[in-house]
Structure 1
Amino acid sequence: MTTQTPATPQHRLVIVGGGFGGLETVNYLRNTDIAITLIDQRNHHLFQPLLYQVATSTLATSEIAWPIRHLLRKYKKVKTLLGTVESVDTAARTVVTADGEAIPYDTLVLATGARHAYFGHDDWEPYAPGLKTLEDATTIRRRILTAFEAAEREPDPGRRGEYLTFVIIGGGPTGVEVAGTIADLARDTLKGDFRVIDPATARVILIEGGPRVLSAFSEDMSAYAKQALEKLGVTVHLGNPVTECHADGVEFGGQSLRAKTIIWAAGVQASPAAKWLNAPADRAGRVMVNADLTAPGHPEIFVIGDTATVANGGKGMVPGIAPAAKQQGVHIAKTIKARLAGDQRPRPFTYRHAGDLATIGKRAAVTDFGWIKLKGYMAWWLWGLAHIYFLIGLRNRLAVALSWLWISITGARSARLITQKDAAEEVGVRSHTP
């Protein structure tokens, strides 16, 4: 009698998070004999670099987000689950979801991202929403648009001015981009739409606690960004962090500023992955991973993207941006392949920085690729081409490109929709509450 050798069980890879890093890992392992399970608490992959354009009525949600199942539909060995992970049992090697399901793994990738952080002032969040999800973007869009609606109905000039004051906290790329786009929206897009108010009188105020905006850029680029914002009508305050945030406005530098719309762009807090693993973390909660992106004491667990803090040789830390997450996804995919082929040697991750980009309004930007630095209109075109290139699908690339071209020529934005059910009620409450 011939004895058959039992089949080697498939290697089980579980990826938590369908962002840039998680999807890149799947893409590089899609043709391997690995059973892959991707878990995400949302059913869509989000192109986060353009999320602020949804918040400021430039793009529609469908233009920067895609159903994960659709993206992975051709990968027959990839299973997609919609669910929220609540813990990781490292001893049993299982991921536990909110409904109690325990999903086994041989290798685990945590790419769970981050949320906005308020530096110990979580009570500020209701007054100053951050921008990390589609829900955040539509909330901010609603608050911006309803502020103009409330101002149109407000008979008191002082309160009308509060509705027409928009405060952005944080002078990084998101803060700069949001401030510039709101200024364009008020002074260009909404021109002629109202009968009582002049939207162009809206005050857009950017508050940065540090000495300059866009601190990751060179000083000359940072100075240009500040000048470009001021040219759009944005007031920039530097060197004084916000000390209080409430329903009527903010306090900073010993002064009070009354405003009904506040947007938070000042900091992030990682997911609770470090707590799941009982791993060391930095002040933002990011797991302090080994050089090969594995969690300390757990070579079978990789942590990437905004969930991890990664040393970049002698050049500080790897930035929490999409290209870095994609590179990390490729790195761990290659590491997994090597391990399954019998090569168990550690593979240190090396980050290749392609450059920094930020846009300021609809006709200016700064780009810094090290070997070349651009600012102004040419930088804006380069910024746009780079973002269009990384969008998924020809239809979305064409839609976004046409939207930007139309806005650049006419100033009109077609995504000025107040979609939440309570929008009209909120206008009434805000405009008549003493």
Structure 2
Amino acid sequence: MKHLVIIGGGFAGLWATRALAGEALRITLIDRHNHHLFQPLLYQVATAGLSAPDIAAPLRHILRRQENVEVRLGEVRDIAPDAKTVTLDDGDVLRFDWLLLAAGATHAYFGHDDWAPHAPGLKTLDDALDLRRKLLLAFERAEAETDPAARAAWLNFAIVGGGPTGVELAGTLAEIARHTLKNEFRHIDPSEARVRLIEAGPRVLSSFPEDLSEKARRQLRKLGVEVVTGTPVGEINAAGYRLGDEFVAARTVVWAAGVAASPLARSLGVPLDRAGRVLVQPDLSVPGHPDIFVGGDLALVQSDGKPVPGVAPAAKQMGRYVAQAIRTRLAKTDPPSAFRYRDFGNLATIGRMAAIVHLGKLKLSGVLAWWFWLAAHVFFLIGFRNRLVVLLNWAWAYWSYQRGARIILGDSDDGQARSTRQA
């Protein structure tokens, strides 16, 4: 049998794998994690609204009935396009007839990698759990602090980047401070927490029409979020961040401003853009290597004269397209026409009963948009259990303002200042 190797169990890789069920083809799916992650709801885990299993499912369980698939847990160390081999971190070498590289993206700090320890990003479940711990510990540190200036620094939160992830994090964090944690502390008032969303561009949610972007700004302000646009962050360290000429003391800064493609793309030896994405052919293949495809966040391709955005629907469509291309090669029929992205619209939630939706000529904001966003995200979750649990958790959070995953995991002494208040 022909052998297809797929690197990455995200939307592109998993959708390609499932689309080839029943084909006379041997598939090896490689991922360094054992689960498929529904990334659009990752911020809900970071802000204690959902638990990790609510938005993730084991790859082996998802593919348990697909007999032509083998799942390998591991990390790819190198790709040799000419030899058609993939080398894993344990030294195993896999030969392939076709390859789909869909390894996703990571954080990009625009040349300031020294900011990373002080401004974590959000791409994996590990990131989400670490961030949840950091956010919840900030309130605990503030409760234990006697110095007013130090306490204010613990209650200063900054989210850098005004895209969907930044907006969703800022709105949810403001709700936690003003509603979820109400009456739970004795020495601080959580509602006095300062949540600031910083966007270097002229407006938040720049991928949406300008009128919806302005509505999002107003909804954020209503939630208590301070929105700053047109000013990039100049410095981030353990004590805070610099915005223009002002240095703001803040112990919690979250990075949501940029992404960089997986470094595996460099193994292909082909042209990359500034973000490290592969400039693929119209059929998503790599120039000079028609048997190697790239999908998801790692691919830079034009559709209807515009770059395809790095969003989940685009990755799914790429995965299905690559599966179709391989299917035609197995059947020795004409290949499909060039990949074309079907844009079904943009959605972003801002907070409780607040969201914006852009679907062609349809524009929604507020309560109706929030219900639309909720239904769409629940529908696309994998597995009946996940959908049911998420619905129940959201229903409980809606009526009670509580967030059921507010458990701080790990050693509480994370190198930050110990409690200064005596028992």
TM-score by length of 1: 0.95
Per-residue CA deviation, residues 3-40 of structure 1 (Å, 9 max, x unaligned), is xxxxxxx0100000000110100111011010000000
Is the CA contact 1:335–1:347 (under 8 Å) kept in the aligned structure 2? no
1:290 aligns with 2:281: yes
Q: What is the distance in 1 between the residues matched to 2:353 and 2:416?
A: 32
* Structure 2 residue aligned with 1:245: 236
* Structure 1 residue aligned with 2:45: 54
* Structure 2 residue aligned with 1:332: 322
Q: CA deviation at 1:342?
A: 1.2
Q: What is the distance in 1 between the residues matched to 2:79 and 2:221?
A: 48
1:359 aligns with 2:364: no
Is the CA contact 2:324–2:336 (under 8 Å) kept in the aligned structure 1? no
1:369 alignment partner, one of 337, 359, 375: 359
Is the CA contact 2:270–2:287 (under 8 Å) kept in the aligned structure 1? yes
Is the CA contact 2:119–2:253 (under 8 Å) kept in the aligned structure 1? yes
Per-residue CA deviation, residues 28-67 of structure 1 (Å, 9 max, x unaligned), is 1011010000000011100000000000111000100111
SS state at 2:303 partner: coil
Q: How many pairs are equivalent?
A: 421
Is the CA contact 2:278–2:299 (under 8 Å) kept in the aligned structure 1? yes
Per-residue CA deviation, residues 205-233 of structure 1 (Å, 9 max, x unaligned), is 00000000000000010000001101111
Which moved further from structure 2: 252-261 or 78-87?
252-261
Q: CA deviation at 1:321?
A: 0.5
* Structure 1 residue aligned with 2:58: 67
Q: What is the distance in 2 between the residues matched to 1:265 and 1:132?
A: 10
* Structure 1 residue aligned with 2:148: 157
Q: What is the distance in 2 between the residues matched to 1:322 and 1:290?
A: 20
Is the CA contact 2:120–2:127 (under 8 Å) kept in the aligned structure 1? yes
2:409 alignment partner, one of 400, 419, 427: 419
Per-residue CA deviation, residues 220-274 of structure 1 (Å, 9 max, x unaligned), is 1000000110111110110011111100111122211110000000000000132
1:399 aligns with 2:389: yes
* Structure 1 residue aligned with 2:181: 190
Is the CA contact 2:44–2:50 (under 8 Å) kept in the aligned structure 1? yes
Q: What is the distance in 2 between the residues matched to 1:402 and 1:346?
A: 42
1:275 aligns with 2:280: no
1:266 alignment partner, one of 230, 254, 257: 257
Q: CA deviation at 1:313?
A: 2.2
Paired letter, 2:358: D
Paired letter, 1:396: N
1:87 aligns with 2:78: yes
Q: What is the distance in 2 between the residues matched to 1:424 and 1:100?
A: 37
Q: CA deviation at 1:348?
A: 0.8
Paired letter, 1:326: K
* Structure 2 residue aligned with 1:97: 88
1:321 alignment partner, one of 311, 314, 321: 311
2:418 alignment partner, one of 406, 409, 429: 429
* Structure 2 residue aligned with 1:219: 210
1:36 alignment partner, one of 27, 35, 53: 27
Paired letter, 1:263: V
State how 1:189-208 maps to structure 2 within 5 Å.
Answer: 189-208=180-199
Paired letter, 2:356: V
Is the CA contact 1:168–1:206 (under 8 Å) kept in the aligned structure 2? yes
Is the CA contact 2:145–2:419 (under 8 Å) kept in the aligned structure 1? no
Paired letter, 2:254: I
Paired letter, 1:32: E
Q: CA deviation at 1:423?
A: 2.1
Structure 1, unmatched stretches of 5+, are: 1-9
Q: CA deviation at 1:193?
A: 0.7
SS state at 1:429 partner: coil
1:341 aligns with 2:331: yes
* Structure 2 residue aligned with 1:5: none
Identity %: 54
Which moved further from structure 2: 182-191 or 251-260?
251-260
Paired letter, 2:418: V
SS state at 2:49 partner: coil
Is the CA contact 1:40–1:81 (under 8 Å) kept in the aligned structure 2? yes
Q: What is the distance in 2 between the residues matched to 1:204 and 1:310?
A: 37
Q: CA deviation at 1:86?
A: 1.0
Paired letter, 2:22: N
* Structure 2 residue aligned with 1:137: 128
TM-score by length of 2: 0.98
Q: What is the distance in 2 between the residues matched to 1:179 and 1:93?
A: 45
Paired letter, 1:161: A
Per-residue CA deviation, residues 313-355 of structure 1 (Å, 9 max, x unaligned), is 22x2101010000000111101111111113546310000000
SS state at 2:174 partner: helix
SS state at 1:423 partner: coil
SS state at 2:302 partner: coil
Q: 1:363 to 1:190 in 2, by over 3 A?
A: same
Q: What is the distance in 2 between the residues matched to 1:271 and 1:38?
A: 17
1:19 aligns with 2:10: yes
Is the CA contact 1:168–1:207 (under 8 Å) kept in the aligned structure 2? yes
* Structure 2 residue aligned with 1:6: none
Q: What is the distance in 1 between the residues matched to 2:42 and 2:391?
A: 15
Q: What is the distance in 2 between the residues matched to 1:405 and 1:317?
A: 38
Q: What is the distance in 2 between the residues matched to 1:60 and 1:244?
A: 33
Q: What is the distance in 2 between the residues matched to 1:218 and 1:89?
A: 43
Paired letter, 2:322: I
Paired letter, 2:354: A
1:232 alignment partner, one of 223, 240, 248: 223
RMSD of equivalent CA atoms:
1.2
